[in-house]
Amino acid sequence: MSGAPGRHRRAAPSTAGTRAVIFDLDGVLTDTAELHYQSWQRMAGVLGVEFDRAANEALRGLSREESLKRFLGPRLDEFSGPRRQEIMRLKNDDYLSRVEQMTPGDLLPGISDLLPELRRRGARLAIASSSRNARRVIERLEIGHWFEVIVDGNDAPRSKPDPQLFLLAAERLGARPSACVVVEDAESGIDAALAAGMRVVGVGPRERVGRADRQVQTTGELTAELLLGD
C-alpha cells in the first residue's frame, strides 16, 4: 500500500528490532467518535448539558468515568454517584445500539491492507484500548483474527495516560517495551506509550499528536515500513 512518510517532530528512536505493533482502536482502526458524539448529544438533550463537537474531541482516549466528568463539567456535583452511574449506563446502551450497525466497511483507510502486510512480515499485533466495548467493536469490524492480544478497559483498572494498558499488551505478547511500536491518535495514549518506553506513531494533527516520535495525518499514510523500519 502507498503512503506518505511520517512527519518528524524529533529524531525518532531506531526501529531496528521492532516486531510488535500495538494499535489503539478508536481513531486508529476505526472511528467511533461520531457514534460517541451522537450518544453524548442525546444525553445532553435529556440533561440540559451544553455539548458540541469540540467538547466531544476533548473526550478522545479517556475512560468512561473521566469522560462523564468532562461531559458534566461544572455541573458534576449536581449528580449523585448513583445518578452518574445511571447516566453512564444510558449513554453506553445508546452507544452500543449504534455499534451494532457497524460493518467491516467502517475500518479507516488503509487498515484492511496494513494488518495482513504486517503479519506477512512477521509482526505480532495487539490492540490496547481504554474502551470496555472494544471487543464488540472488533467483532463488528471482523478483524479479531489479525491480533494475538486484545487488552481493553476491562483488563486494566488504570486508563491512559497511565502506561498499564500498553505494558500489559506487551507482556501478553511476550515482547519487550523497547521492541514495541504504538499507533495512537490521542494525546493521553501517546503519553501512555512514551511512559511505557515504547516508540509511538501518532495519527492526526500535530497539535494533538505532536509528542509522538513520528506523525502522520491519516491512517492511509501508515505503512509496514514506517512501523517496522524494514
Catalytic residue among 24, 152, 162, 185: 24
Q: Edge-to-edge strands of the sheet including 20-23?
A: 7-8, 214-216, 199-203, 180-184, 20-23, 124-128, 149-151
Q: Specify whether the backbone of 190 is left (phi greater than 0), alpha (psi in -120 to 50) or beta.
A: alpha
Q: Quick check: is 24 catalytic?
A: yes
Burial class (CB in 10 A: 0-12, 13-18, 19+), 18: buried
Name the DSSP class of 67: H
Burial class (CB in 10 A: 0-12, 13-18, 19+), 46: exposed
Q: Quick check: is 93 catalytic?
A: no
Q: β-strand 199-203 against 20-23: which pairing, if any?
A: unpaired
Catalytic residue among 26, 152, 162, 213: 26
Three cell numbers at 22? 500495538
Q: β-strand 149-151 against 180-184: which pairing, if any?
A: unpaired
Catalytic residues: 24, 26
